[in-house]
Amino acid sequence: MTFEVTILGSSSATPIYGRHPSSQIINHHDHIHMIDCGEGTQQQLQRFGIRANKIRHIFISHLHGDHFFGLIGLLSSMHLVGRKEELHLYGPAPLKEILDLQLYHSQTTLRYDLFFHPTQHESPAVIFEDQLLRVSTFPLSHRIPCTGFRFDEKPRQPKVDMEKVKALEIPPVYYPLIKQGKGYRTADGDFYPSAELTIPSPAPRSYAYCSDTIYTPAYVTAIWNVNLLYHEATFLDEMRDRAEETYHTTALQAGLMAFETQAKELLIGHFSARYKQLEPLLEEASSVFEATQLAKEGATFKVKYAV
């Protein structure tokens, strides 16, 4: 089952050096979701061959412009190209007022249904759930209200061990019951529990997105043991005072957070405009958490099963 993250933007504050403000695409089993929508996101979607009209849900972490200034343009373009499918938008409550004002003064009535779901930043909450995936928010510590997002796969039923059930001549009509945990008794009275007739599915995978935040243990529990952690790493650690002043994290601190939460892999992004070359940030995070990669734009990262 597909579970991957494509980076559209990884710059903090401003576009620079060919980098764009924050935005990511989550593809889970061909269901397409977006996290944050900084300036230029539309162009990035086109550049990397991602169809905007396939996006079902958009999650906005907070109301600093580098995380949502591309949103009204994207929503308007979806309208202009004739989108009909409903779209769900999750973000801070004031975002609705901002969008309503822009649509009102442009005299735009969207051709599709846009459902707005306000998030709250005081405590964790589940904001979306279907048969395959659960999305929850958790508070981050930034200058303004800000939430992280965690995407958790739901456990899947085990697979029927076809070799065993065929050897026992179990009729296919019983397969769904066996997958649900029910055993099977043969005509001779022999009983086979479900565990002997199935192959366990892999453990569910998880992805956590930590946008702008100061380094703090407050959200450790919320991102515990994720398969893939995205964490902002705006500055090198020599700029720690500046990071604390602006409520951001250093690359070293991002690595420490991945280590402390027992993440399997780490992506770092939200790079300051002061860094044209990003390798020093990667080296710093990797010094404390080896399984670290740069969130380079256009790159797609698989959320891998735990080994």
Is residue 1 within 8 A of residue 303, CB to CB? The reply is no
Provide Rg for the chain, Cα atoms. Answer: 22
> What is residue 94's three-state secondary structure?
helix
Q: Find the helix or strand (DSSP H, E) in which 100 lies.
A: helix 94-105
Q: What pLDDT is attached to residue 212?
A: 97
Of 66, 152, 212, 237, the active-site residue reads: 66
Exposure letters 101-126 (e unless 16+ CB within 10 A, then b): eebeeeeeeeeeebeeeebebeebee
Q: What pLDDT is attached to residue 36?
A: 98
Q: What pLDDT is attached to residue 306?
A: 87
Residues 76 and 32: their CA atoms lie apart, in Å, by 19
Residues 242 and 142: their CA atoms lie apart, in Å, by 13
Output helix, strand, coil percentages for the chain, rounded to the nearest 5. Answer: 30, 30, 40
Q: What pLDDT is attached to residue 124?
A: 96
Is residue 251 within 8 A of residue 240, CB to CB? The reply is no
Q: What pLDDT is attached to residue 187?
A: 84
Identify the DSSP state of 237: G
Q: What pLDDT is attached to residue 257?
A: 98
Q: Find the helix or strand (DSSP H, E) in which 92 lies.
A: strand 87-92
Q: What pLDDT is attached to residue 286?
A: 98
Q: What pLDDT is attached to residue 215?
A: 97
How far is the first Cα of the chain from the last one, in angstroms, to the nearest whole number? 16
Residues 131 and 87: their CA atoms lie apart, in Å, by 18
Of 276, 266, 275, the residue nearest 231 (C-alpha): 266
Residues 177 and 156: their CA atoms lie apart, in Å, by 14
For 248, other C-beta atoms within 10 Å of its C-beta total 24
Q: What pLDDT is attached to residue 307?
A: 77
Q: Counting Cβ atoms within 10 Å, is residue 71 exposed (0-12), middle (13-18) or buried (19+)?
A: buried
CA angle 297, 303, 307 (to 5 degrees): 140
190 is catalytic: no
For 268, other C-beta atoms within 10 Å of its C-beta total 29
Q: What pLDDT is attached to residue 216?
A: 96
Q: Which residues contact 291 (CB under 8 A, 6 or more apart)?
A: 258, 264, 265, 266
pTM assigned to the model: 0.93
10-residue mean pLDDT series, the chain (307 residues): 97 96 98 98 97 97 98 98 97 98 97 97 96 97 98 94 92 93 91 93 96 97 98 98 98 98 98 98 98 98 93
Domains, in order of start, for the chain: 3-156+202-302 (3.60.15.10), 159-199 (no CATH)
Residues 287 and 280: their CA atoms lie apart, in Å, by 11
Is residue 258 within 8 A of residue 225, CB to CB? The reply is no
